[in-house]
Chain A
């Protein structure tokens, strides 16, 4: 945590880059700077932002969650299925939350107690969730629709208060809660200590293993909320999202914002900066009507640039060498 200066370094740089990109788009593209477009911009990254907030907690603790999007899609699809089967909405919502938390706890337990690497545990868990939920709970369906009886849920995705879409409020709420947890509670301090140096954290009496369970449960919970918004927005859940790059986009936002993969550094401010840059880029590229290939080149270059910056600001040192890179 002595590197707080460096962390703000990247977050600040990204925020500045975002402003520059925004200004360029605002000058070049008609209607980009309009308030309505700003609302659309934030609205369109709210799901990604929520996922990235959960991911940030895990990454700060020097972990990684590659099963977050699988959790998101599988749990929300199951909830819609339950509602379609006649279960009251709130029961289905609770059941979904419980399933998400269980998945997170299993991830955490395998990483903390069995001491398997997070990368492989969560990668495998992603496959497992996809297959098991699809065959076991969805009867083989890839596409599940919001049933007629649960149309009220659409408010979460399509509603607006004072002209601001509900997903934006949910993103703000999740970000605030995570910020409070990380910066104002002892658990938050413990998470930083865990990521900074797990062994030292343990030696100083921090319950590192139960803490790991909490971290992955929070990441899964973020997936749960993001899944709810997604299901409510389009009125359906399409399990194909699991095969998309969304999970990596969430990691991209986290790293881009300046939360180092070597753990212990960064905060929710960084997530916001990363989300803002990605949102601005995506929105601007859609308005410019760039082709898919060009968009993918831009995204790839931005990620490489961010990792380069991360490397320059947090060069490989003795501590990283000893712990090994992710």
Chain B
């Protein structure tokens, strides 16, 4: 008895709800032009745009979450994907290479429409990315490239950054500068494309200038402590070192600490690059880094989504496109460090 009364009540409530909702949405459906655009062309453009993304899925696999770059990318991708009506999924392998290959394999099975990957090395995902394209998934690579090209690579032009940094070092330390010409390089993980590109470019520049002597080129494995230890050793060996160049800013902060500990701040120039989080600008102002090439990670997140929009609207099949979008880069020094970096999302 009570149950049937409840059921009636519920049905009534539901019907009322539907009616209200219908009444509210009536003007919109009655006048589709208002929702989609004023002109026929605009309406069609909007319809094509919406249809390209509605109900599609974008997957993101960074090497790990919890570092400024990946936090920022995720934040932007997730927000812009939601605006497009796309579903966002993420797998965080926590820097575990095995977990990363497993995550990508599992995602290929689940067939998202777009997969954004952050390659820890040029080889790790090379085969899987091919497989993903065969399975009909558009693959976008962010900042660290794989040996397998895919629909898009979005990221800094690390060769150019390495070259420009080296040229600046030559100008500061080379012929006519009155300085020693001794340079130390702190590599990242030697199998990462970022490290390979920057170090190759820098060494090519230095090779043209015999007065520049690369006294050390050691891998710091993205670790500030390792960079600090290597640089401390190099500095006792070569207290007249002119410059140290690290392929990633957060790691190279360790080299900056070693220079500070040795009392050589300002005498040994510290060069680095990266995505430009606030901690870097603070460190530049504190004198830990002298010159920093920044490829704004926030803009990169937006670039990823721009590529997604282009790729999905183009109608191209996975494997057809091979595009590269190098990120906008600017140079930060103590003179322009105020406001040149971004705050982490949520701070």
Where the two chains meet, the residues of A that have a C-beta atom closer than 8 Å to any C-beta of B are 29-32, 34, 36-37, 39-41, 43-44, 47, 130-131, 134, 138, 140-143, 145, 158, 160, 165, 230, 233-236, 238-241, 243-244, 283, 286-287, 289, 292
Contacts and interface: CB of A to CB of B under 8 A. Distances in A.
A158 B234 CA distance: 17
A142 B253 contact: no
A292 B66 CA distance: 27
A243 B95 contact: yes
A43 B232 contact: yes
B234 to A, nearest CB: 7
B334 interface: no
A36 B239 CA distance: 11
Contacts of B225: 47, 230, 233-234, 238, 241
Nearest to B255: A234
Contacts of A292: 190, 218-219
Contacts of B228: 233-234
Contact of A289 (B67, B217, B223): B217
5 contacts: A40-B233, A142-B65, A234-B253, A234-B257, A243-B96
Contacts of B215: 289
A-B pairs, 10 with minimum CB distance:
A142-B66, A234-B224, A37-B236, A286-B233, A141-B66, A44-B229, A292-B219, A36-B236, A40-B236, A234-B254
Nearest to B226: A244
Interface string B17-56: 0000000000000000000000000000000000000000
A74 to B, nearest CB: 12
Given A233-B254, A244-B221, 6 more contacts: A37-B236, A44-B233, A165-B261, A238-B225, A243-B95, A289-B215
Name the residue among A230, A240, A243 with the largest chain B CB count within 10 angstroms.
A240
A283 B222 contact: no
A31 to B, nearest CB: 5
Contacts of B235: 40
A31 B230 CA distance: 15
Interface in B225-274: 225, 228-230, 232-237, 250, 253-254, 257, 260-261
Most chain A beta-carbon neighbours within 10 Å: one of B65, B233, B250:
B233
A140 B219 contact: no
Contacts, number: 93
Nearest to B222: A240
A31 B237 contact: yes
B234 A286 contact: yes
Given A138-B66, A244-B221, A235 B257 contact: yes
B329 interface: no
B233 A235 contact: no
A236 B256 CA distance: 13
Interface residues of B, number: 35
Given A43-B232, A233-B257, A235-B253, A240 B65 contact: no
A36 B237 CA distance: 9
A234 B250 CA distance: 10
A283 B190 CA distance: 20
Task: Identify which of A233, A234, A292 gathers the most chain B CB atoms within 10 Å of its CB.
Answer: A234
Contact of B236 (A34, A142, A143, A165): A34
Interface string B77-102: 00000000000000000111000000
Nearest to A131: B94
A283 B233 contact: yes
Residue picked from B64, B230, B237, B260, most chain A C-beta under 10 Å: B237
A158 B236 CA distance: 16
B68 interface: yes
User: Interface centre among A44, A130, A165, by most B CB within 10 Å?
Assistant: A44
B229 A241 contact: no
Given A34-B236, A145-B279, A240 B223 contact: yes
B333 interface: no
Nearest to B279: A145
Contacts of A287: 233-234, 237
Contact of B64 (A31, A44, A240, A289): A240
B260 A238 contact: no
Nearest to A39: B236
Contacts of B65: 140, 142
Contacts of A34: 236
A67 B237 CA distance: 35
B232 A244 contact: no
A244 B222 CA distance: 11
A243 B189 CA distance: 13
B184 to A, nearest CB: 9
A279 to B, nearest CB: 10
A143 B221 contact: no
Contacts of A241: 223, 225
A134 B95 CA distance: 13
A270 B2 CA distance: 82
Nearest to B190: A292
A134 B66 contact: yes
A285 to B, nearest CB: 9
A105 B216 CA distance: 44
A47 B218 CA distance: 20
Contacts of B237: 29-32, 37, 287
A248 to B, nearest CB: 15
A285 B233 CA distance: 10
